[in-house]
Structure 1
Amino acid sequence: MQQEVLKAEKLNKYFYEPATTQVLYDISLSIGEGEFVSIMGKSGCGKSTLLYLLSTLDTSYEGTVDITGVRVTGLNENDLAGFRNEHIGFVFQFHYLLPEFTVLENVMLPALKLGKLNREAIEQHAMDRLRQMDMHEHAKKLSGKLSGGQQQRVAIARALINNPRIIMADEPTGNLDSANTAIVFSIFNQLVQEGNTIIAVTHDHDFARKSTRILQMADGRLTL
């Protein structure tokens, strides 16, 4: 039986400026270990807003979110930051690498912040992750010198450095050409085979069709 790694119940979300507007309506879902879930829908339907709630980056909502058996709803910011760093890896449409740092240094940063390993062990683990992305030969380069596809692969390596249970991805292939999109999907698929759980917001129908489950959204509600 597939172990549940994320559960959300009756999530409602409001924006209050310039006027009170409800953007998510009674969303409940359960995601199991090793699932690759794509969230799809038209622009403005609430899919990225939902991802931010599920990832604990947005804490202003009604309802509850449990991740790896922990009720994260209601935790203070310090506890949430620590939980995110240990259990969730993030991949965004924009890679958010620090251009003045090397590829290796960028990948090491979340592990240095977590502080569970010494620097030598973190560096070795970071190199292992870069090797997994076929980016190890670029480890000493400044990240700003890489192509867009290469930078996204480095961002994935950074997301994996703390061995998270869940990878949250917001339009991870939105800025990539078809060749690099295929590379990113291949990486994600391999991660799922290794037991990772991936939740990805995407507009790419081809990408979504290859995931294990699609959640369709419209007007702030799950429709499928």
Structure 2
Amino acid sequence: MQELLKAEKLNKYFHGPDTVQVLYDISLSICESEFVAIMGKSGCGKSTLLYLLSTLDTEYEGTIDINGTRVTGLNENAMARFRNEYIGFVFQFHYLLPEFTAIENVMLPALKLGNFDHEAVEKNALEKLRRMDMHQHAYKLSGKLSGGQQQRVAIARALINDPTIIMADEPTGNLDSVNTDVVFNIFSQLVQEGNTIITVTHDHDFARKGNRIIEMADGRIKT
């Protein structure tokens, strides 16, 4: 499989009254169509690492290359466009706008990217919701949906720009077992279609169903 993401010697510090190092010389590579779970105890640095890999946090030492592009050092506008085009995000908390309908929430990243007109974006958003079996709720306010339904809308939103990589931070953390299985089945289908998924999770059963587990402890990858 072809390498899609490569990180070399990542070090991360939090600066407050005291400077604290939270990641130590993290190096890893992830290939196309992998389903990778990052695991470890709370505070081990796994979510911090995900935020670096996803380009949401750019304050670090080391380098990250994604899809052949050195994203480390890109200016803010170039980084934002790269992120919006190549990376989809799913979080533990769905971060939907409750005053917007489900389809309006899904459309937002595509409208921001600006590659297609409103009609084409709406058609694509409806198709993404159909994949999540949420098309019948497309024009409901997202605040009126259940937690599991909201997370499926959030996944549809992550897919709207057809990203190469989906980054997920505890995507099933607030879901029951039934909806956890739904999310896993969606992710598995995406991997079969060529997507790459990197997820932080505490759920061992969820992680074991993927291709690879990266375990972390005290800001380092366990060997």
Alignment partners' CA distance in 1, 2:160 and 2:3: 22
Letter in 1 for 2:93: F
The answer as to 2:105 corresponding to 1:114 is no
- Corresponding residue for 1:156? 155
Letter in 2 for 1:206: D
Pairs within 5 Å for 1:64-143: 64-143=63-142
Alignment partners' CA distance in 2, 1:57 and 1:109: 18
State the identity as a percent. Answer: 79
Q: Matched residue of 1:140: which SS?
A: coil
Q: Matched residue of 2:8: which SS?
A: strand
- Corresponding residue for 2:179? 180
- Corresponding residue for 1:190? 189
Q: What TM-score do the two structures reach when normalised by structure 1?
A: 0.99
Q: Matched residue of 1:25: which SS?
A: strand
Letter in 1 for 2:215: Q
Alignment partners' CA distance in 1, 2:95 and 2:79: 20
- Corresponding residue for 1:147? 146
The answer as to 2:72 corresponding to 1:48 is no
Shift of 1:161: 0.2
Alignment partners' CA distance in 2, 1:48 and 1:17: 19
The answer as to 2:16 corresponding to 1:7 is no
- Corresponding residue for 2:210? 211
Alignment partners' CA distance in 1, 2:17 and 2:51: 21
Shift of 1:39: 0.1
Regions of 4+ moved over 3 Å: none
Structure 1 runs not aligned, ≥5 long: none
Shift of 1:3: 1.3
Alignment partners' CA distance in 2, 1:69 and 1:137: 39
Q: Matched residue of 2:51: which SS?
A: helix
Deviations, residues 191-210 of structure 1 (Å, cap 9, x unaligned): 00000000000000000000
Alignment partners' CA distance in 2, 1:177 and 1:81: 33
Structure 2 runs not aligned, ≥5 long: none
Q: What TM-score do the two structures reach when normalised by structure 2?
A: 0.99
Question: Once superposed, what is the RMSD of the aligned Cα atoms?
Answer: 0.6
Deviations, residues 69-127 of structure 1 (Å, cap 9, x unaligned): 00000011111111110000000000000000000110001000000011111111101
Deviations, residues 116-172 of structure 1 (Å, cap 9, x unaligned): 011111111101100000000000100000000000000000000000000000000
Alignment partners' CA distance in 1, 2:42 and 2:17: 20
- Corresponding residue for 1:18? 17
